[in-house]
Structure 1
Amino acid sequence: MDRRRAVPRTDRVLADPRLQEATERLGARLVRSAVTAAQQACRAGEIAPEAVPDAAVNGLPPAATSLRDVLNATGVVVHTNLGRAPLSTAAIEAVALAAGTTDVELDLATGRRGPRGAGALTALAAAVPDAGGVHVVNNGAAALVLAARGLGAGRTVVLARGEMVEIGDSFRIPELLESVGARLREVGTTNRVRLSDYADALDDTVAFVLKVHPSNFRVSGFVSAVPVEELATLPVPVVADIGSGLLAPHPRLPDEPDAATTLRAGADLVTASGDKLLGGPQAGLLLGRSDLVDPLRRHPFARALRVDKLTLAALEATLTGPVPPVPAMLDADPSALRRRAAALAADLTDLTDLAAEAVPSLAAVGGGGAPGVELESAAVAVTAELAEPLRLGRPPVVGRVVRGRLLLDLLTVPPDRDAELATAVRVAARDAYGT
């Protein structure tokens, strides 16, 4: 008999209680796609007809989204391709709460419209007391663009030539500023700029002087730059884009600019990201003089950059809740990482093809923050042949290949997921070697 005739009908497969429950959770389209794929495998002779329901269940996605939960074992704390900062448990809970009907713009006491995101803004103001005013937009570039639009549209922005950088995905600071009507006046050279260069560039058309953190771009050797303290002596506002969202100094990142220090140095307005070193959701922060921030908050262009209730909830929880994962990783104890790596390697010693070994590692901050800073860490080294099977596993595991070996850096793996990582390695080895 033609094997294809034995393929179970779709309605019979969908009658499986597990698939009925999945339909309520994931929707009919995704479940039917999994059933169709299982039936096709049966027609191809890859599975028996009676195995179709199980295959359909195993082929279901974990959620109704194409995004996958990935174990970041790269050692890059703020990994742009992996969504930058992982949220804290408190922030995740806040997002789940905000996903429903909330009082995001309702004053429950009066029954009238209330200030949007008051809790998040209050938390941000408390975290940066040197800022007279605070505002939140949808990403770091948007914060800078709003400042340029509100303060510098049709006017001149003075910027050091060595700070006209590309910030990723082909977006460039000069083009962002010019796109909202600001005119740029470059001063200095690529490697050197002096206070006199800025002073000579000032006239009645200048809206502000912009100081840009160059992200992961560095120039060494015969170089000079003008710090915010000196720029603050000029008779125009100073806007500082610190990039990474560090709100206060961190001992392991001595050269990374932070909002508190920059404001105390005399910056009138600071812009930054919320999803990097702050460890929160994607957001852009504006911090500074209230007479600058308040008009920007009410600017018509601010509406196009407004954050949603999920971002507001996650940001507030990040600021008021327990230490988020990113700061926790930066403060991780190297000796604890070494113990975890040794335990994980010992757990994998029976997989002889892997030659699993606990090794020292140097992790990185990532996300354009703290370029050149190396964080002491520990990793489990296995054969590089497992890089692809691990990326395609459930959950996907992403490490980094160094000198022919795959390093699974534990700085960026939550400790409570070590057992899950070990299981993922075992499954990948079984698929690769049949062991």
Structure 2
Amino acid sequence: MSDPRRAIPRTDALLREPAVAAAAERLGRERAKDVVTRTLAQARHGALAPHRVRETVLARLLDLESSGTTLVPVLNATGVVVHTNLGRAPLAHAAREAVYAATGYVDVELDLATGARAGRGRGTLAALRERVPEAEDALVVNNGAAALLLATTALGAGREVVVSRGEMVEIGDGFRLPALVESAGARLREVGTTNRTTVADYAEAVGEGTGALLKVHPSNFRVAGFTSAPTVDELADLGRAHGTPLVVDIGSGLLAHDPLLPDEPDAASTLRAGAGVVTASGDKLLGGPQSGLVLGHAPLVERMRRHPMARALRVDKLTLAALEATLRGPVPPVPLAVHARADELEARTRSLAARLSDRGVGLADPAVVPVEGRVGGGGAPEVPLPGWAVSLPERYAAALRLGSPAVLARLDRGRCLVDLRCVPREQEDALVEVVVAVGA
């Protein structure tokens, strides 16, 4: 029997098709060729029938023309909730609607009642203060690293910022805290050791040249065993005694204590413990758009707001709209996925396995297996999220990534595991169809 893949058309032949060539004229040849290449790869991996290649190419070119972007929607079937390579937090429906509404003219810096200029993003900042009443003031910048950069710049530029050696972290993609802080003109004063630092170590370093004390949550790793670190309360007392502000970077953006994540610091508790400024990411555990959150004492936040660097780091109206809707609206997808119940996930997973089996998909043995999901994004690295997954043969993984929609599953010991923790119920039908197409 001949290989059906022999019917897959060649790249140059597809690009000569009149409709494809016309789209290439409008989009550019390289963009059109990329669509053709990706579709052909999908067919070669068995995720698309050869006779559907031409129509799929044309449909994708049409989508590209209407959306103007090469970003491909992906179903996250990895069980990792805050997946950095997939853009971290998926926005809630309310946030998406808010972004769309903000694409036109909006009163981002205008008081409609008076016609005068008004504070930028005042609704979003009010929503932040409502969610964290311990904060006297709030500020939003374009990501978590920017929030920390602005804090150390406005409060410590030209002076020393005292930090524990055990908290000199790399925040991702090769960016390291020392380089980030020093790029703003502050001088880092390292104290203690990698595994043990005391409040006395900080006290010995504080002097006339100290601009701020800094505490950083090492969110993506743990040092265990013979360790110690000063608490926020202890550093706050030291800072008050010397008139030195305490900046605490909590990392993953948890606004209030979550019993499921007992070791993950939250903004409210950290401020109650005496921090002057708390910085965090908005697109991790909060489940909002990429943004950096600043919460704290009004005079310190105002110093940051008035610093010239704040203008370069400010967010646009779309981010402000999405963040406000996230703060005021229903529970976003990230917290829902983190708190998904294992028994409900098992029921969904067994139902998915049954549907796939009925459609002739060959499942691995056993078909449904227990798995442990993860928060991801550097948050709560030691907290497992018990769940379940459909087990498929390993060969499915590559074809699913090239499917329509694209599906990113987890590879584990020769199995392709499809975890529904982060897959919305309304997208399960689409997931079934792409898996069936791969198995056909």
Scaled by the length of structure 1, what TM-score is found? 0.88
Correspondence for 1:353: 362
Give the residue type in structure 2 aligned to 1:312. L
Correspondence for 1:392: 402
Q: CA deviation at 1:353?
A: 3.1
From 329, 333, 337, the counterpart of 1:329: 337
Correspondence for 1:379: 389
- Structure 1: distance between partners of 2:232 and 2:111: 40
Q: How many residues align?
A: 411
Deviations 1:20-60 (A, max 9, x none): xxx8xx9932699659988xx9xxxx9xxx99974652342
Is residue 2:131 matched to residue 1:133?
no
Is residue 2:27 matched to residue 1:29?
yes
Residues 394-403 or 354-363, more deviating: 354-363
- Per the alignment, in what secondary structure is the counterpart of residue 310 of structure 1? helix
Is residue 2:324 matched to residue 1:316?
yes
Unaligned runs of 5+ in 2: 1-9, 45-50
From 254, 260, 266, the counterpart of 2:262: 254
Is residue 2:233 matched to residue 1:224?
no
From 235, 245, 252, the counterpart of 1:237: 245
Is residue 2:304 matched to residue 1:306?
no
Correspondence for 1:285: 293
Unaligned runs of 5+ in 1: 431-435
Q: Please say if residues 35 and 52 of structure 1, whose CA atoms lie closer than 8 Å, have aligned partners that are also in contact.
A: no
- Per the alignment, in what secondary structure is the counterpart of residue 381 of structure 2? strand
- Structure 1: distance between partners of 2:183 and 2:31: 43
Correspondence for 2:219: 215
Q: Please say if residues 341 and 359 of structure 1, whose CA atoms lie closer than 8 Å, have aligned partners that are also in contact.
A: no
Q: Structure 1 vs Structure 2: percent identity of aligned residues?
A: 57
Correspondence for 1:294: 302
- Per the alignment, in what secondary structure is the counterpart of residue 323 of structure 1? coil
Deviations 1:66-107 (A, max 9, x none): 111100011001010110000000000001111112111122
- Structure 2: distance between partners of 1:126 and 1:362: 34
Correspondence for 1:410: 420
Q: CA deviation at 1:14?
A: 8.1
- Structure 2: distance between partners of 1:420 and 1:37: 21
Distance 1:30 1:98, change over 3 A: farther
Correspondence for 1:58: 59
Deviations 1:170-200 (A, max 9, x none): 0001110000000111110000011111111
Give the residue type in structure 2 aligned to 1:66. T
Q: CA deviation at 1:112?
A: 2.4
- Over the aligned positions, Cα root-mean-square deviation in angstroms equals 2.9
User: Which gives a bigger RCO, structure 1 or 2 (Cα 8 Å, sep 6+)?
Assistant: 2
Is residue 2:380 matched to residue 1:370?
yes
- Structure 1: distance between partners of 2:85 and 2:35: 29
Distance 1:111 1:366, change over 3 A: same
- Structure 1: distance between partners of 2:381 and 2:52: 52
- Structure 2: distance between partners of 1:37 and 1:68: 11
- Structure 1: distance between partners of 2:145 and 2:363: 44
Q: Please say if residues 13 and 53 of structure 1, whose CA atoms lie closer than 8 Å, have aligned partners that are also in contact.
A: no
Give the residue type in structure 1 aligned to 2:428. D
Correspondence for 2:186: 182
- Structure 2: distance between partners of 1:343 and 1:364: 23
Q: Please say if residues 139 and 284 of structure 1, whose CA atoms lie closer than 8 Å, have aligned partners that are also in contact.
A: yes
- Structure 2: distance between partners of 1:127 and 1:80: 25
Correspondence for 2:127: 123
From 432, 435, 439, the counterpart of 1:422: 432
Matches within 5 A, 1:6-21: 13=19
Give the residue type in structure 1 aligned to 2:299. D
Give the residue type in structure 1 aligned to 2:395. E
- Structure 1: distance between partners of 2:14 and 2:215: 66
Matches within 5 A, 1:259-278: 259-278=267-286
Distance 1:279 1:13, change over 3 A: closer
Q: Please say if residues 380 and 408 of structure 1, whose CA atoms lie closer than 8 Å, have aligned partners that are also in contact.
A: yes
Matches within 5 A, 1:90-109: 90-109=94-113
Correspondence for 1:433: none
Q: Please say if residues 361 and 436 of structure 2, whose CA atoms lie closer than 8 Å, have aligned partners that are also in contact.
A: no
- Structure 1: distance between partners of 2:147 and 2:261: 23
- Structure 2: distance between partners of 1:8 and 1:339: 44
Distance 1:150 1:33, change over 3 A: closer
Correspondence for 2:5: none
Correspondence for 1:203: 207
Q: Please say if residues 364 and 415 of structure 2, whose CA atoms lie closer than 8 Å, have aligned partners that are also in contact.
A: no
- Per the alignment, in what secondary structure is the counterpart of residue 276 of structure 1? coil
- Per the alignment, in what secondary structure is the counterpart of residue 130 of structure 2? helix
Matches within 5 A, 1:39-78: 54=55, 56-60=57-61, 62=63, 63-78=67-82
Scaled by the length of structure 2, what TM-score is found? 0.87
- Structure 1: distance between partners of 2:350 and 2:62: 33
- Structure 1: distance between partners of 2:433 and 2:267: 42
- Structure 2: distance between partners of 1:382 and 1:14: 35
Q: CA deviation at 1:290?
A: 0.2
Distance 1:267 1:52, change over 3 A: closer
From 138, 143, 147, the counterpart of 1:143: 147
